Structures are given as C-alpha cells and as structure tokens.
Chain A
Amino acid sequence: MIIEDDPRLRRGLELALSRLGYAVGAAGTGEEGLLRLQESKPDLVVLDVILPGIDGFEVCRRIRAAGTTPVIMLTARGDDFDVVAGLEAGADDYVVKPARPSVLDARIRAVLRRMPGADGDVREFGELRIDTSGLTVALRGGQVPLTPTEMRLLLTISRAPGRVFSRQQLLEQVWEHDYLGDSRLVDNCVQRLRAKIEADAANPVYVQTVRGFGYRFGPV
C-alpha cells in the first residue's frame, strides 16, 4: 500500500508498481491509510514522511504498534532528520525521493524476502527458540512477533553465533543495499530487535555490540 498525499505522485507510483506486478492500494492521508490498513492487510507500506494531518512518523509508529507490517519511508535526500526520525519510528528501510520504481522494487523485495534457513532447522539459545522453517521466534515459550527485517537480521547473525558482522555486511545481506547503505538502518533495527527478545535491552545477551566493528550473536 502507498500512503502519499500528492495525488499525481501517488498515481504514478501506483502505475509503476502495478506494472512491476504488485497489487497496489493507495491512500492520501495517514488517517485513511491506517483505516485501509486494517481492512486490506497489505504486505508492505510505502509511506511518505510529509503528510497532511498525522505525519509519516506517527503513521509508522502506529503501524509498528499494531503489528509487523514492514514500512518503507520516502524521504528527501540530505534530510537527515527525516531519516533518523523515520528509523526511530520503526521504518524498515527508506528510499530517497525522487525514487525510481526499479530501486523501490529492489527494496520492497529485500524487505519482504524472509530467507528461510537452508536446512530448516530449529535453533535454541537459552530461552530463545528460532524456528527457521516456520520463521517464528519464541522467548520462554511465548511467540515474539517480528517484522520481516528483524527476522532476517536475527536469522543472519544467529546462523554463526560468535561471529562478528560489520554493519556494512549486514546492510548487504539483510537489506541488500549497495555499498552506500546507511548503517543507521542496522543500529535502529538492532535496537528494536533487542527490545523484543532481550530481558534487559541495555545489557543485551543475544545481540551484542562489538564496539567499532559491528554486532555478533551471543555467546549465550
């Protein structure tokens, strides 16, 4: 679904994405988008930052609170504030305007691709249980709802516990970005993931920071 206030751009994106094979719905305001979200349950939301009424960040925050629907933000280049605020609101990725449909397509695919584990095994680390075929995560027996990006990040680093992944590597493997990716995507996603699976997000056990290099899983 596309939430974009400018009708021509909304229609343009709709046309381009439809042509690429997506079933596209569109909304002109954040309120309308949130309403439509409940009815149509889209796989992914492309969200403009600047909207009349409630802005893109607030919409993103509400989507995140409601479930695990991935969000890609449309931001203005160089507007770092938009990027940071969007990521903190829980966006999975962002695309700088003017966005080529091909670029947007690649990001959408990357976000939606859940990359099931090669062997479909079940990994258990302490109280954390990751089912790589069913793509579910349980903590102390309870299911933890993860967005596709969070899931993919967790799957990526838990495949080799103890190994250090640089932000750049994670960008390329999880977000499928080229070398110009924004490492803040990684940091924000890690924080959201920690909030969900760590007992104490300030002293993480599973996703640990290796200062100056990146992140590693465990050791538990």
Chain B
Amino acid sequence: MTARLAWPRGLRARSVWPRGSRGRRAWPRGLRARLLVAFVLVTVFGAAAAAWSSARSASTALAAGAERQFVETVTNQITANAAGLTYPPGQSTLDQLASAVGADTTVTYQNLRSTTGPDSDLITDAIRAAVQHGDSLFVQRIAAQGRPWLIVGTPVVITSTTGTRTPSGIQVYAVRDLTSVQRQIHSLTRSEAITTGLALPLAVLLALVAAGSVLRPVRRLRDTARRLSAGDLDARAVPRGADELADLTVTLNEMAESVQTSMAAMRRMQDDARRFAADASHELRTPLSTLTAVMEVLAAASQEMDGDARESAQLAIAETHRLVQLAEDLMEVSRFDAGTARLRTEDVEVGGAVRDCLRTRAWTDQVELSAPGEIWSRCDRRRLDVIVANLVGNALRHGAPPVRVSVSGAPEQVWIEVTDSGPGLPEQVLPHVFDRFYKADEARSRAPGSGLGLAIALENTLLHGGELTAGNASGGGARFVVRLPRGREDT
C-alpha cells in the first residue's frame, strides 16, 4: 500500500531543474547565468547610453563653445576696428583689418583681397555664396587635411544712424583648426568608455547579488519541493517578502497542506480498513473455528445416518470447509491490501518445497514435476507453498491433465512454471486472470475455488519481489510462470 500511496514515479525521477538540451546555441541555460547576462547587458547598455549621451552633449557643448568663442572674437575684432577703417577701403585697409582679426583670415572688397594665412584655400564656395547674398554672419564646420575646421564668414555692414544695415562690400573669412577641440572630445569619450568599462565588474557583482537574492528563495522552494516529493509532507518553505516568489511559496505550502491532509485522510481510511479486516477476521474466525471443531464429530456421526440426512450433513461439511477456505483467502487478501503481509524468509530448496506441496495435497499422481537438482532460494516457505498450491489447484480445476510443474534456476532467479493441457486461456480472459473473483468458465469448472487463488498467488509473488505471468503454452494449455529473485542476503 505504501508503494501505491507514494508520489508518481515520474515526479520523483525528474529533477526540479531542467537539465535537458533545450537551447541549440550557447545561450546560458541556468537561471543564474541568464539573470547574470541580462543584468550585465542592461547595466552596460544603460551605462553606455548614459555615457554616450553625456559625451555627445558635452562634445556638442565643447564644439559650440569653441565656435561661439571664435565667432565672438572675429566679431569683436571687426567691430573694434571698423570705425577706424577707411571707407571705401584700399589694400592697406584690408591688410589692417585682416591682421586685426587674426591668423588665417581673408578679407575681400570687390577685387581687393588680403590674406594672413595659408589655410584660406579651405574657405568653401557655399559659405562664400551665403556671405555674398546675406547680411548676417555664417559658420561652417568642415573636415579637411584629416582635421576638423571651423570657417566663419561675414560681411561687414554699414549701419545708418537710424539703424538700417547695408552691406559695405567688405567680407571677412576666418578659418580655425578644431583639432584641439576634437582632442578634448576624444579624451572625454575615452574617459566615458572607461567609466562604462568600470561599470562592468560592478554590474557583474550587482547581478550576482541580485541573482542570489532571487535564486535563494527559488532554491529554498526547490529544496522544499524535493523534500515533499521525497515524501516528507511536513516540509514547508517560509515565504519572505511580498513578491511573486512569496506568492509561489504560499501556493506551494497550500499544495503541501492539501496533499498532507488528503494523505492523512487516506491513511486514516487505510487504518480503518485494516482495523476492519482485523476485526472481521477475528469475528469470523471464532464461529468458523467452532464449526471446524464440531464438523469432524458430525462427519463421524453422519456415517450412521441414512440417505438424505447423510447427504445433507456431508454437503454441510464440504461447504463449511469451503467457507473456511474462502474466509482464509479473504483475510489473506485483506492483509495484503492493508500492507500488513510480511515475508519470513529462510533458505528453501525450491524443488523439494514444490514436491512437498504436491505431496501434502495428494496431487502427486495428477501432476508431473520436473525439478532438476537442488535449487536453493531465500524465500518464505509458507508463501511459496501458497503460490504453488493456488497455481496447481487452478490448473487442476480449470485446465485438463496432465498438469506439469517445472522448476528451473539461474544464478539470480528461480522460475516455477505451471502448465496444463487444457484449451488454454482465451484472449479476453488474459487481462483479468488475476482479478479477484474473476471466473471465466464457472460452468465448466469441476470444483469450485474461492476466486481469490490467483490474486493471492500474484500478491505473494510480488511480496517476494518476483513476478507472475499468465499466458498460453505452445501446446495450447494455460501457462503460468513465477519468477522469484534468488539468494537474498542472509538477514
């Protein structure tokens, strides 16, 4: 019974954690590894994004600052000097303005032109065109000669006393190398990358801590589930916090609770059934004992009776014996059901035991026994006798003689084969042959059995850790094979 009440085999055999090969690629399978990777990815991406955006805004600000400063310088230089310039200007005026604005400056007025540096080639046509047609200051960033440059181009305007602005025809272009700004931005980026890199071990550490905090309750749950599946129904996990895992823990505990409750109920029912069987056995046994005791007196007396009275007495005697047998079989079965059946093993010579079994029941001349040599096995002598007696009895009742019993042995096993020469077991009977009270051919049986014999034989075989199979012999008769494990250690 305990085996029947145990957890389903699959549940016990399967581990709580899938170890199977689900992922085809090297995607981490463990929950911890997955959490770790996900956490690190998120952290590093987050850090990188933050670093990137701050580096970008910083570099934008740097570039813009450099640009503003340069524009301011140019504007201020022009404004400061313009009032002192001759207008319309001559070449010297242009030179004066160009040198005032600084290096790499070109000043043009109609066909006149003054340049203070070699890089005036960098001035693009686009900015020229813009300056030509507009009255505001223009900037453009370009990359040339492998370096970034800033170009500022502006017309110089004439402001009237009322504030009206008209181009004076003087145009100023200034070029500035932005390499230093570029370098600043690069060093900024590098430091951000390093910061991001430094976030990595920190992220791993945090991920480990987080994974641990997530996995610890999971592991506790697993341990609890393992103990539960191993049969320890008192196992409970203590829910901590108020998260989903705590919910799961509570649910698991509830499940264990309900399983435990139903197991307890089952066990109570089982105990009740066992007690009932014991009570019934005692209550039945006493009247049956009385009947048995007086039946022989009655049998002796019936010899002197005549006709119907004698037959009635003999019928009563026969039926009493049958009733006793039936009650004994019922009690035997109920003991198996209650799980109280125990093996009492000793060293038994199987061939001899089978022979003794046949001899005590006076079956020797109806049964052919083939038992070559001595085959010792460790088993329960009485139960072995029950098995053989039930199988042979069944064969004698339902099959046809000759009934053959053969005993054979291997180092680990003993086989007892019982074959009769009848028509064999019909196909539809085979699955039910060990069912209790199943009788396939009630009408044809010569002597009535209890209907429990084969079930008892099967239970006794299983108690030994063996197996009992029913089938048909090649010759046509029914064939039952008992396999018993042999040579258990002395206890």
Contacts and interface: CB of A to CB of B under 8 A. Distances in A.
Direct contact between A and B in the complex (CB less than 8 angstroms)?
Answer: yes
Interface of A: 6, 8-9, 11-13, 15-16, 19, 50, 74, 76-78, 80, 97-102, 178-180, 183, 212
Contacts of A97: 285-286, 288-289
A11 B294 CA distance: 9
Most buried by B among A6, A76, A180, A183: A180
Contacts of B332: 77-78
A62 to B, nearest CB: 24
B490 interface: yes
B112 interface: no
B346 A183 contact: yes
A-B pairs with lowest CB-CB distance, top 10: A12-B293, A98-B289, A98-B292, A179-B356, A12-B290, A9-B290, A98-B288, A12-B294, A16-B293, A97-B289
9 contacts: A9-B287, A11-B290, A50-B282, A77-B332, A78-B335, A97-B285, A98-B292, A98-B293, A180-B381
Interface residues of B, number: 34
A16 B297 contact: yes
Interface string B49-80: 00000000000000000000000000000000
B385 A180 contact: yes
Given A6-B289, A179-B381, 4 more contacts: A76-B285, A80-B344, A97-B289, A179-B353
B286 A6 contact: yes
Contacts of B347: 212
Contacts of A212: 347, 490
Most buried by A among B282, B293, B341, B344: B293
Contact of B285 (A13, A16, A98, A180): A98
A77 B288 CA distance: 13
B235 interface: no
Contacts of A76: 281-282, 285
A75 to B, nearest CB: 10
Interface string B355-396: 010001000000000000000000001100100000000000
Interface string B136-172: 0000000000000000000000000000000000000
B481 interface: no
Contact of A80 (B282, B290, B342): B342
**Secondary structure class of chain B's binding surface, majority of residues:** helix
B300 to A, nearest CB: 7
B158 to A, nearest CB: 129
Contacts of A80: 342, 344
A101 B299 CA distance: 12
Interface string B327-352: 01001100100001110101100001
Contacts of B297: 15-16, 19, 101
A47 to B, nearest CB: 14
Given A8-B287, A76-B281, A101 B353 contact: no
A119 to B, nearest CB: 33
Contacts of A77: 328, 331-332
Contacts of B247: none
A99 B281 contact: no
A78 B331 CA distance: 9
A158 to B, nearest CB: 25
B324 interface: yes
A6 B290 contact: yes
Nearest to B347: A212
Contacts of A16: 293-294, 296-297
Most buried by A among B286, B335, B344, B347: B286
A81 to B, nearest CB: 10
B85 interface: no
A16 B341 CA distance: 32
Interface in B264-294: 281-282, 285-294
A19 B292 contact: no
B331 A101 contact: no
Nearest to A14: B293
B279 to A, nearest CB: 12
A178 B282 contact: no
Contacts of B335: 78
Contact of A99 (B292, B340, B346): B292
Most buried by B among A9, A13, A97, A98: A98
B37 to A, nearest CB: 62
A76 B331 CA distance: 10
B385 to A, nearest CB: 6
